[in-house]
Amino acid sequence: MGEAVELEAGGRTVRLSSPDKIFFPERGFTKLDLARYYIAVGPGILRALRDRPTTLERYPEGVTGENFFQKRAPKNMPDWIPRAHITFPSGRSADEMCPTEEAAVLWAAQYGTLTFHPWPVRRDDVDSPDELRIDLDPQPGTDFDDAVRAAFELRGVLEEFGGLRGFPKTSGGRGLHVFVPIEPRWTFTQVRRAAIAVGRELERRMPERVTTKWWKEERGEKIFVDYNQTARDRTIASAYSVRPRPHAPVSAPLRWDEVGEVHPRDFDLATMPARFAELGDVHADMDDHRYSLDALLELARRDEHDHGLGDLPYPPEYPKMPGEPKRVQPSRAKKEQPGPSGP
């Protein structure tokens, strides 16, 4: 595995053990390649993670080995990496790491972290999201090009309802994420409600291409707007995160004029450093903006008042939420319906 090496990020030195360990056999990328990648895009990923409680998706033996999500800050985490106390839907709580330096990302890479999953909050106010995150998830029979078409329609919806500006990025797979920086004055429940309103408006405009149906059996060959990614403790891979797939793709921030011109496979552990060196972080000004959700929440109110469109199901691990419809698979509910009563 080679002797340990010392790497520098942001003026701080981090020790990297087993630098020659193969993390991506298909491409031959090592643990040292992963660490150098995160140094190369350091300012960009720190912008995406700064002060955010962050879950680590770890692959200590590389992408073909066992993996796990680490929500609680590791006991051996250095004192210079801050923590934030967050509460899960179950009522349990934990301290999570909150990167404030590029070296924190490098430290996590030392322990096999491929993907960083930041909460949409900052550590000084962990109950008020400052990002509305829209996940455009291609279902079987659809692909990235379908997500692109939905993203352009989404851009118009965001502009129409509050003059919102979305920042698009590849998921690292087949989908697209669009993040909107918002004022941190709404609850997780309200932000999720805004995401549902966005999804329903997209559904109305693209009924043959977009769905908000939670149950897979109802979605069809459409792009699913995964509104539950805005629920508490549900996170989306950060910009510049490496994704655990054989070819080592990364979640790539995009300009809108690139959205229809590029493909997710264009961005990986080998190609992103050169792009970053040339263009820098194309979402660098994201934190300079803060938008209001008032127009989207008014749309949600009208959906409910005028069309009877209330809440949608939460993820299965959530306790039953106020106003939530029955959380049961439609085909199962049909089977469970009582038959005609006897004489």
Structural tokens at position 241 = 């995160």
Size of the chain, expressed as the number of residues it contains:
343
Is the distance from CB of 181 to CB of 286 less than 8 angstroms? Answer: yes
Residue tagged 């994704």 (tokens): 243
Cα angle value 243/235/96 (rounded, 5°) = 100
Q: Is 85 helix (H, G, I), strand (E, B) or coil?
A: strand
| Rounded distance between C-alpha atoms, residue 304 and residue 325, angstroms | 13
The tens place of each residue's pLDDT in the chain, 343 residues long, gives 679 999 999 999 999 999 999 999 999 999 999 999 999 999 999 999 999 999 999 999 999 999 999 999 999 999 999 999 999 999 999 999 999 999 999 999 999 999 999 999 999 999 999 999 999 999 999 999 999 999 999 999 999 999 999 999 999 999 999 999 999 999 999 999 999 999 999 999 999 999 999 999 999 999 999 999 999 999 999 999 999 999 999 999 999 999 999 999 999 999 999 999 999 999 999 999 999 999 999 999 999 999 999 999 999 989 998 889 988 888 887 776 655 554 4
| Rounded distance between C-alpha atoms, residue 46 and residue 49, angstroms | 5
Alpha helices in 269-329 (DSSP H): 272-279, 294-307
